[in-house]
Amino acid sequence: MGKLYVVGTPIGNLGDFSPRAAETLAAVDFIAAEDTRVTVKLLNHFGIKKPMVIYQKFNEREQGEAIVARLCAGENCAIVTDAGMPCISDPGETLVRLCVTAGIPVEAVPGPSALVTALAVSGLSVSRFTFEGFLSVKHSSRMEHLRSLIREHRTMIFYEAPHKLLSTLRDMYAVLGDKNVVLVRELTKIHESAWRGTLSEAVAYHEANPPKGEYVLILEGMPEEETSDPLGDAVALARKLADEENMPLSAAAREAAKLSGCAKGEIYQALLAEREE
């Protein structure tokens, strides 16, 4: 029985690659890479020559089964992503699950992670946080995801590509209000930067300055003292759905109830009382 090594790679600066990670890639029988063209540059820099297979979301099922078969036959494999720790917003999660199911040992060789690196320099609260990954490209799914975070009091972390950043900021502002946000881009690279301000300011800035590079968004949560009125929050959400998305009051109350846990009837009656006033 072989072993799967989950190996973290640099998120920009090759100096962040650990000696243990280099030793692991040199010792395994083969490497499962998200993009072999990216990984070969890393291997060449450290003088490592090793056979690779492509493992990504488009072939994760078929290739995953092939990798597991090789591991069961006694080979050792390292899985790497283009940048950072595999399995974080990455199909490596599926391969690890397959190995666990098959009883194959899995060992982590930790390395840089964009989400915790950006959080550390954000200046926002780091005592509790939630990683939300990439928002859906489908507008309805994206809005549903954001609505589920209206009462979230932990600091929220998102990944976003430059071509989607502006629409994401606009949607966040529309659903979550004018929260403080930190946009960290090109971590550990020459053009690393951290932009700080409110969501409305972020929209205005990036309308005038087209986004470039990969972004990590750190968004403040709701202050603890504002979480004490769940019904009020649910009614406010239903009101927003009814007014901004032209939902019937009943449908808005049902959606708000699903996301908040409050009773639909109570939300609906509160909406009706508001309209009567």
Instruction: Tell me how far apart the alpha carbons of residues 154 and 140 are, in angstroms, rounded to a whole number.
Output: 24
Q: What confidence tier does 81 reach under pLDDT thresholds 50, 70, 90?
A: very high
Per-residue confidence (pLDDT) for residue 225, from 0 to 100: 62
Per-residue confidence (pLDDT) for residue 20, from 0 to 100: 98
CA torsion 28-30-32-35 (nearest 10°) is 120
Pair 38, 17: CB distance under 8 Å: no
Q: Which tens digit of pLDDT belongs to each residue from 244-277?
A: 778 888 888 888 888 877 888 888 888 888 877 6
229 vs 183 pLDDT, higher one: 183
Instruction: Tell me how far apart the alpha carbons of residues 119 and 141 are, in angstroms, rounded to a whole number.
Output: 25
52-54/30-33 β-pairing: parallel
Instruction: Tell me how far apart the alpha carbons of residues 193 and 216 are, in angstroms, rounded to a whole number.
Output: 11
Every domain of the chain and the residues it spans: 4-112, 115-223, 229-276
What tokens appear for 105 in the block?
Answer: 């040992």
Tell me the Cα Rg of the chain. Answer: 22
Top CATH class of 4-112 equals: alpha beta
Question: What burial class does residue 190 get, using C-beta atoms within 10 Å of its C-beta: 0-12 exposed, 13-18 middle, 19+ buried?
Answer: exposed
Instruction: Tell me how far apart the alpha carbons of residues 18 and 1 are, in angstroms, rounded to a whole number.
Output: 26
Side chain identity at 69, as an amino acid letter?
A: A
pLDDT over 60 (residue 15):
yes
pLDDT over 90 (residue 21):
yes
In sequence order, which residues have a C-beta less than 8 Å from that of residue 211 and are 6 or more positions away? 162, 163, 165, 166, 185
Instruction: Tell me how far apart the alpha carbons of residues 150 and 234 are, in angstroms, rounded to a whole number.
Output: 9
Q: What confidence tier does 132 reach under pLDDT thresholds 50, 70, 90?
A: very high
CATH code of the domain made up of 115-223: 3.30.950.10
Q: Which tens digit of pLDDT belongs to each residue from 182-213?
A: 999 999 999 999 999 999 999 999 999 999 98
pLDDT over 60 (residue 228):
no
